[in-house]
Amino acid sequence: MAPTSVLSDGTIRRLVEKGRIRIDPWDPTMVQPASVDLRLGGSFRVFHNHRIQAIDLDAPPKDLTEHVVVADDDHFVIHPGEFVLGSTAERVALPDDVVARIEGKALALDTPIPTPDGWTTMEDLAVGDQVFDAWGQPTAVVAATEVLTGRECREVVFSDGTTIVADVDHQWESWTKTARARKRPPSILTTAQIERTLKIGAQEYNHHVAQCDPVSYPERALPIDPYVLGAWIGDGTSAAAEITTVDESILAEIARAGYAVAPASRARPLSYRLGGEGRTRDPISGRYCRNGSFSSILRDTGLMMNKHIPRVYLEASVEQRRALLDGLMDTDGYVDKLGRCELTTVRAHLAEQYRELIASLGFKAVIAVKTATLYGKDCGLKYDVTFTPHEPVFRLPRKLARQKLGGRFYFDRAIVDVRPVDSVPVRCIQVAHPWGLFLASRSFITTHNSSLGRLGLVVHATAGFVDPGFEGSLTLEIANFNSVPIVLRPGKPIAQLSFMTLDAPAQRPYGHPELGSHYHGQADATESRYEGGPARSR
């Protein structure tokens, strides 16, 4: 009897509430748009293939497996090439007119991935490497696929302008409009699912992705105090160790960091020389040479006549990056009465570095490209990097007093488009964090673990369909096609169960006296109860 329709999330919830479909234990947050996630149980059966030379289906062997039970706080390791039977943590019961199907659960290779040691790409990650989870903490890569080609791909576009190319099965943690309105947990959805439900009505975007917490790079040994560097990049003279400012408090912060501050010239009353140590002559040649002065350090680090943020500062500790942002905002930043902050530059590469710095501290930064004018004259392009921080980003009292630090803030990005693109090679990883979230792109976008199948872990039900009338846990076929062991933990989502209605109730549902129904009521991973070939079974 052919199934006639796949049940939606609302229908699934309604049938569960009425008791027609039973899932025990029942967790409404596991409901997806057209399925229910099922968790891995603690019951496994390991095959002892060495006991026999071959399996004769006319005389199936008995006791070919060993039952292994894993505690909820323990784990089971499936080795490369190994095949085991597992079970779902949930027991499922179906009515006589519903059948279910169970199915097991990638980013482009050049997708930038932040790590505690700096930036890498999806292509170069390996098992054992560390990435960042959604809370900005290091987490290990525990599995990774080979390069996958021929996948159907999409470009996912976020409200801050970030784009990430992923295949249609890649997963994201999405706060839908319903979840936001009802304060429900987020859902794990594929790129394809997000594409189908992109908007609510004509204007409102349905899917939001949460911002990360500040990323915890290690503390670095920095050649220049980060606040002082930020102030010099903001209001400093590109060709000299000087800064131009009317704010005494900025000069006081620089002096507090250990740098001498002195007027640069009587002709330039607002210019100040920083960190001077006087000139040093080479004792042999007599020429002036570099010393520990601020000017010499600027030259040694390649900053003189080349304002930029050295990579070591963008990958320094949270406190060091906050100090750098304070220096930039005190000198070159702006805040309006609504709390919106802005950094402006005419250098495109600096704008990208500003955005990376701001995003790494847990704020959503957007770059707007505009025309710079002076007295009505077109002076080329400028880049406004805007963000609304919920924490202080100034030390300068007059600016800090204007910053909004209370009220309502938004800690997410909307997905504003999902565009079809040509297929590109993609790759998937699995991380150790139990929630499966990690950060990708220079904007530190939160994304989700790859599906288990693309990590070399293939999960199937021992039967393609769960028959109408069935009751019990579901036995799973689990195979590891990866080259490294994979850790399986009870309670982890392992499969999806979708439901379909029949055109009429089954006349002999599973468990009917005239059927064998060998697996009816099973509670653990159950080995084969196959009784032989067609002649014997009749």
From CA 394, how far away is CA 404, in angstroms rounded? 11
Query: How would DSSP label each residue in 234-280?
Result: HHB-TTSSEEE-S-HHHHHHHHHTT--EEEEETTEEEEEEES----E
Residue 142 near residue 457 (C-beta atoms within 8 A): no
Greater pLDDT, 53 or 445: 445
Domains and CATH numbers, the chain: 3-105+454-537 (2.70.40.10), 107-211+411-450 (2.170.16.10), 226-400 (3.10.28.10)
Q: What are phi and psi of 520, to 5 degrees?
A: -65, 130
Report pLDDT digits (tens) over 492-534.
888 878 898 888 898 888 877 777 656 677 887 776 654 444 3
Of 36-45, 250-259, 370-379, 494-503, give the lowest mean pLDDT range: 370-379
Report pLDDT digits (tens) over 178-192.
999 998 989 889 899
From CA 462, how far away is CA 527, in angstroms rounded? 10
User: Which ranges constitute the DSSP H helices of 370-516?
Assistant: 397-400
pLDDT at 227 over 60: yes
Q: What is the pLDDT of residue 446?
A: 95
Q: What is the pLDDT of residue 371?
A: 86
Question: Given the structure tokens 């196959």, which residue do they identify?
Answer: 530
User: What predicted TM-score, i.e. pTM, was given to this entire model?
Assistant: 0.69
Q: What is the mean pLDDT of residues 355-382?
A: 89
Q: What is the pLDDT of residue 537?
A: 33
Average pLDDT, the chain: 86
What is the distance in angstroms between the CA of the first residue and the CA of the last residue of the chain? 23
Report pLDDT digits (tens) over 2-16.
445 678 888 999 999
Greater pLDDT, 420 or 29: 420
Q: What is the mean pLDDT of residues 474-480?
A: 84
pLDDT at 457 over 80: no
